[in-house]
Amino acid sequence: MSIACLHKHNLVQHVVSQNCDGLHLRSGLPRAAISELHGNMYIEVCTSCTPNREYVRVFDVTERTALHRHHTGRMCHKCGAQLRDTIVHFGEKGTLRQPLNWEAATEAASKADVILCLGSSLKVLKKYPRLWCMSKPPTRRPKLYIVNLQWTPKDDLAALKLHGRCDDVMRLLMAELGLDIPRYDRYDMVHYGHSNQLRQARAMGDYLIVGVHTDEEIAKHKGPPVFTQEERYKMVQAIKWVDEIAPGAPYVTTLETLDKYSCDFCVHGDDITLTIDGKDTYEEVKTAGRYRECKRTQGVSTTDLVGRMLLMTKAHHSNIDEDLDYRKHTDNFGKGPKGHSPWTGVSQFLQTSQKIIQFASGKEPQPGDTIIYVAGAFDLFHVGHVDFLEKVHQLAEKPYIIAGLHFDQEVNRYKGKNYPIMNIHERTLSVLACRYVSEVVIGAPYAVTADLLDHFRVTLVCHGMTEVVPDKDGSDPYEEPKQRGIFQLVDSGSNLTTDLIVQRIIKNRLEFEARNQKKEAKELAVLEAMRRLEEEKH
C-alpha cells in the first residue's frame, strides 16, 4: 500500500514484481505501472485473440503441473481457443505481454533515477541486465537502494544497502515524507470459511454465541464495511450452528465480555488478528487460558472473493464453457425414463465429499413435511438470500426446503459478466450452512421439470421478485410448476442482490481513493516544502 501511495504522488513510476499473487494490482496500482515478471495466479489469457483476452482464473479447472505446460482446460468464449495461465515456471522465459509487461519494465529502468529493491534476494533478477541498465557507464546508471535482511548479488553496486525489514523501512520512509500508509481495504463478507469455523466452534461446546462487531469498530480496525451491522447480525444468526449472537461485540475480546455472556472460552481461527496499533485482539483471554483455536478453511478467503469482483471491473469476463458433458447433462435431464438425473451424481458426491457431509444436515423429509423447492445461483450468499429463504420457511408449519443450485456455466448464461463470483462448490457449502435449507441439488437444471418435482415430491415451488430469464430455447423455466398450480412468488422485502454487493465493494474502493485525493493538495505542499529543505542542505 505504501508503494501504491508513492506511485499516486509520482514518487514511484513503475513496479517490477517477482510475485504472482496479484497483490500489487489489488493495491490500486494501475495495470500499466506494474510488470509481474512471473505472471499473475489470478489471470488466464487467450493468446489467439489480439490483443490477448484476459479472464479471471477459476481454481477448480484442471491443474497442469508438468513443467512448461500452461493450458487450463477452459475455452475462450470469443474464439474457442483453449486458455492458458500466466505463470512463468522455473527455468522458463516468459513471453506474454501481459501481465509480464517487459517493455514497460525496461523502459522505466532506462529512465529511472533510482531503483528501490524491497525484500528481493535478486538471485533471479540479476540475470536480467536490462533492468539494471548495465549497458550504461556506472555513473549514468540509476542509483540502487536495497532493503533486505540477507546478502544479495547486487550489494556491491548499491548506493545504499539497508539490512532491515521492508515494512519497518517503508513506515519510516512514509513518515519522513509525511504520507499516511493507506489501509488495504478488507471486507466483512460472510462466506463458507466463516461458517466452517463456526461449525468447528460449535462442536467444541454445547452452546455457541457469536460476537458481531459494529460498523464503527470495523471501520476503525479494518476499513469501510460492505454490510451494515444489522445485515451482519441477521446473516450470522442464519448460520445453523449459531445459537445466539452478541450484537456490538468489542473488537478486542476481554474476560469481561466472556463473563458477561457466561462463556467458558472463546474460539478463533489459527490466524492472528491485530488491532489498528498492532496488538493481538485475543491476548487477554489467551493469557487466562480461555482461548481455543480451530483450523481455517483452506482455499477460500474474503480477499480472493473481492479480487474476483475487482478484476470484473476491469472487464475480465468469465468463460462461458458449455462443454459436451455439461450440455448432455442438462439437455438429457428429465427426458423420459432414459434421462440421467443429476441427483444420482449428487448423492454419490455427498457420500464421497467429507466437507459437504460436514455441512449437510443429513435429514430426510418426514411425514407431514411441506417440501418446498427454490432454485437460483445463490452467488455470494448474502442477507437478501436469507430474507427470501426465511419468508419461504414461514410458508409452512413443517417446511423442508430444497435449494437447486445452477452450474457455473448456466449462471454465466443468464447473468453474464464475470458471474458467478463463487463457483458451484463454494455456493453449495454457503447454502448448506443456512439454517432454513434442508437439502441442496448441485447442478440443478434451469427448467424445473416434472421428473424433478416427482422425484423430490415437491409440493410448492417458490421464486423471489427478481426477473426470470427464459431458458435457452426461450421457454419459461417454471412452466411445469405453474401448470400444476404449485408455483408462488415470494416477496422477501429485501432489495439486496449480488449485483448490489459488487457495486458496494467497487464504491468503497472508489471512496477510499477519493478520500486520499482530498488530502493530495496538502500532502503535495508538504512534499514540496521538504524537497526545498533538502535542496537548501546541499
Which amino acid makes up residue 58? V
For residue 511, pLDDT beyond 70: no
The reported pLDDT for the residue numbered 295 is 81
The reported pLDDT for the residue numbered 532 is 75
Identify the residue with better confidence: 92 or 253.
Answer: 253
Secondary structure in 3-state letters for 519-536: CHHHHHHHHHHHHHHHHH
20 annotated to bind ligand:
no
- Spatial strand order of the sheet with 114-118 comes to 114-118, 143-147, 160-162
The reported pLDDT for the residue numbered 22 is 74
Distance CA 19, CA 38 (A): 6
Please give the distance of CA 320 from its chain centroid, rounded to a whole number: 20
Which amino acid makes up residue 424? I
pLDDT digits (tens, 9 = 90+) for 429-451: 899 999 999 999 999 999 999 99
- How would residue 37 be classed by pLDDT, with cut points 50, 70 and 90? confident
User: Quick one: which of 239, 153, 144 has its CA closest to 191?
Assistant: 239
Highest mean pLDDT of the ranges 165-169, 279-283, 358-362, 402-406: 402-406
8 A C-beta contact, residue 57 and residue 32: no
Stated pTM of the model: 0.57
Q: Which residue segments constitute the domains of the chain, with CATH numbers given?
A: 1-110 (no CATH), 112-164 (no CATH), 192-300 (3.40.50.620), 333-498 (3.40.50.620)
Residues 6+ apart with CB under 8 A from 63: none
Cell matching residue 183: 489501509
User: Quick one: which of 30, 41, 18, 37 has its CA closest to 97?
Assistant: 37
Which amino acid makes up residue 448? V
Catalytic residue among 14, 24, 38, 316: 38
- What is the widest separation between alpha-carbon atoms in the chain? 89
pLDDT digits (tens, 9 = 90+) for 471-483: 999 999 999 999 9
Mean pLDDT of all residues in 283-308: 79
The reported pLDDT for the residue numbered 438 is 94
For residue 518, pLDDT beyond 90: no
Dihedral, CA of residue 377, residue 380, residue 384 and residue 390, to nearest 10: 70
Which of 73-87, 349-363, 463-477, 489-503 shows the lowest per-residue confidence on average (mean pLDDT)? Answer: 349-363
User: Quick one: which of 376, 525, 402 has its CA closest to 464?
Assistant: 376
Residues 6+ apart with CB under 8 A from 115: 109, 131, 132, 142, 143, 144, 145
pLDDT digits (tens, 9 = 90+) for 254-272: 999 999 999 999 999 876 6
Compute CA distances 377 → 140, 440, 442, whole Å.
Answer: 59, 12, 11
79 annotated to bind ligand:
yes
Q: Look up 38 and say whether it is catalytic.
A: yes
pLDDT digits (tens, 9 = 90+) for 317-327: 334 343 334 33
Q: Given the DSSP bridges, would you call strands 291-294 and 266-269 parallel, antiparallel or unpaired?
A: parallel
Mean pLDDT of all residues in 356-372: 84
pLDDT digits (tens, 9 = 90+) for 319-350: 434 333 433 333 332 333 333 322 222 222 23
pLDDT digits (tens, 9 = 90+) for 184-227: 444 466 777 888 889 999 999 999 999 999 888 877 776 667 78
pLDDT > 90: percent of the chain:
34
